[in-house]
């Protein structure tokens, strides 16, 4: 899997939107962009994934740059329960390979 | 759908004993991945299995560790002669195929005393 770069930590206020950036300048045409999060003492949780177009689901939105070298996970209204480590991961299509986790971004949400 | 089930949630073993960790993937998922997370560290891939086959064990220590995913029953991660350095959270994930995300279990927290 290609490498991604994320800030180590970010802070947000409760009920405000959060934009979590991810750089992946070496992404290939067959790499999907996956986002997972890990709450304290829990297993990772799938958030969203996409290839080229922006994606929305009940948890978040994923905005993918036109050149695909960066993406942003958007939480529209942060809650205290969103405090977690967020991982941006590239996964090659149909490779059958594992996800390779980096350090992720630790999101802190202030009440 | 009960999700990925791991048991036990917590396991305490004395040095030299064996640890057996079980993972039942989501119904219909035939791909299972095991990860280890040492205290205050990131998740590290260990092994990828499909039913009755080990596909990729590049992250598994060469000694004392083994994994299986039999035709019937859960996937098992087995650690023989445990040492204190094996203390960690072990997570498994299952996967339906392209177009879907991976689903992780809640993990087994192994403590070696």
Give residue-wise pLDDT tens across range B68-97.
Answer: 999 889 999 999 999 999 999 999 999 877
CA-nearest residue to A47 within chain B is: B101
pLDDT of A96? 64
Chain A contact set for B43 (CB, 8 A): 38, 44, 101
Residues lower than pLDDT 50 in chain B: none
Q: Compute the distance between CA of residue B27 and CA of residue B22 in angstroms, rounded to an integer.
A: 15
Cβ atoms of B106 and B7 within 8 Å: the answer is: no
Number of residues assigned to chain B: 113
Q: Compute the distance between CA of residue B27 and CA of residue A71 in angstroms, rounded to an integer.
A: 32
A94 contacts B98? CB cut-off 8 A = yes
Residue A89 has pLDDT above 80, yes or no: yes
Angstroms from B51 CA to nearest CA on chain A: 14
Edge-to-edge order in the sheet of strand B65-68: B5-7, B19-24, B75-79, B65-68
Chain A contact set for B91 (CB, 8 A): 43-44
pLDDT of B79? 98
Residue A48 has pLDDT above 60, yes or no: yes
pLDDT-based confidence at residue A94 (cuts at 50, 70, 90): low
CA of residue A96 relative to chain centroid, distance? 20
pLDDT-based confidence at residue A55 (cuts at 50, 70, 90): very high
Residue A1 has pLDDT above 60, yes or no: no
Residue A23 has pLDDT above 70, yes or no: yes
Query: How big is chain A by its Cα radius of gyration, in Å?
Result: 13
pLDDT of A95? 60
pLDDT of B28? 82
């Amino acid at each position: 899997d290609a490498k991604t770069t994320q800030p180590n930590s970010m802070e947000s206020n409760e009920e405000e939107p959060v934009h979590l950036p991810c750089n992946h300048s070496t992404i290939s045409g067959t790499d999907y962009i996956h986002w997972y999060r890990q709450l304290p003492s829990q297993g990772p949780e799938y958030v969203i994934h996409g290839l080229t177009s922006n994606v929305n689901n009940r948890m978040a939105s994923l905005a993918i740059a036109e050149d695909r070298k960066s993406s942003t996970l958007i939480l529209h209204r942060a809650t205290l329960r969103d405090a977690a480590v967020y991982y941006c991961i590239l996964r090659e299509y149909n490779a059958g390979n594992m996800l390779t986790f980096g350090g992720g971004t630790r999101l802190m949400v202030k009440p | 759908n009960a999700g990925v089930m791991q048991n036990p949630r917590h396991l305490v073993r004395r040095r030299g004993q064996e640890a057996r960790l079980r993972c039942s993937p989501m119904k219909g998922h035939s791909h299972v991945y095991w990860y280890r997370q040492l205290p205050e560290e990131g998740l590290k891939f260990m092994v990828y299995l499909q039913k009755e086959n080990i596909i990729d064990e590049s992250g598994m220590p060469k000694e004392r560790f083994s994994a299986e995913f039999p035709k019937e029953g859960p996937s098992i991660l087995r650690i023989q002669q445990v040492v204190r350095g094996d203390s960690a959270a072990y997570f498994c994930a299952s996967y339906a195929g392209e177009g879907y995300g991976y689903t992780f279990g809640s993990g087994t927290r192994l403590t070696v005393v």
